[in-house]
Amino acid sequence: MVALDPEDGLPTSVFDGSTKYPLHITVFQQRQPDHGSGLYVYPSVEDCLGATQHFPTSSRLAGAARAIAVAWAWNEDNGLPENYGTKKAYDFVRLVELLPLPPSWGLVPTSPARRVRARAPSSQPLRLQGHAASPQSLARAQARTMALEAEVAAMEEQLGLARAVLRS
């Protein structure tokens, strides 16, 4: 999960507001135990979506628009990451794709001059398939929707390639 810096639009750490993650550029920060340092990632879109509510209020870009960063992550010594629940700290991170945060997630962009704000909570609980939805069930459903959208996009690309071959 990254913030989109209101100043330059670059993917940036929600927490420190200064670590930038430009696409296709490897970023390094030596991981240290006990949250001493490192680059933090979630292993899945579902975990990433579930984490949107858990950033400390002191996070520098807590109110900024967010996106889901698809990244490669590894350690200098090829060792295991530091684990903090589902969040993991690595030495190296390289963004390979940036996915928009689903609009239903509540952090929506406003004009560049204004900060992004969370949507006002509804008096009605969100429902998923007839049941009151927990944040976890919403994260699972949204992650599945995003996976299906990616699958459809890949199938459409394959179809386009097949059509191009047939025309030639």
Range of the domain at 17: 2-107
Could you tell me the pTM of the whole model?
0.63
Least confident range of 9-23, 113-127, 143-157: 113-127
Is residue 22 domain-resident? yes
Q: Report which secondary-structure segment, H or E, holds 92.
A: strand 92-100
The answer to whether 26 and 113 have CB atoms below 8 angstroms apart is: no
Structural domain contains residue 127:
no
Please report whether residue 39 resides in a domain.
Answer: yes
Q: In this structure, is residue 123 part of a structural domain?
A: no
Q: 115-144: per-residue pLDDT in tens?
A: 333 333 333 444 444 445 555 566 666 677
Which of 35-49, 73-87, 146-160 has the lowest average pLDDT?
A: 146-160
Q: Total structural domains in the chain? A: 1
- What pLDDT is recorded for position 155? 82
Nearest CA to 14 out of 5, 24, 3 is that of: 3
In a domain? residue 12:
yes
- 32 inside domain: yes
69-80: pLDDT as tens digits: 999 999 999 889
Confirm whether 59 is domain-assigned. Answer: yes
Q: Is residue 128 part of a domain?
A: no
Query: Which pLDDT does position 60 carry in this prediction?
Result: 93
- DSSP secondary structure letter of residue 136: H
CB 106 within 8 A of CB 116: no
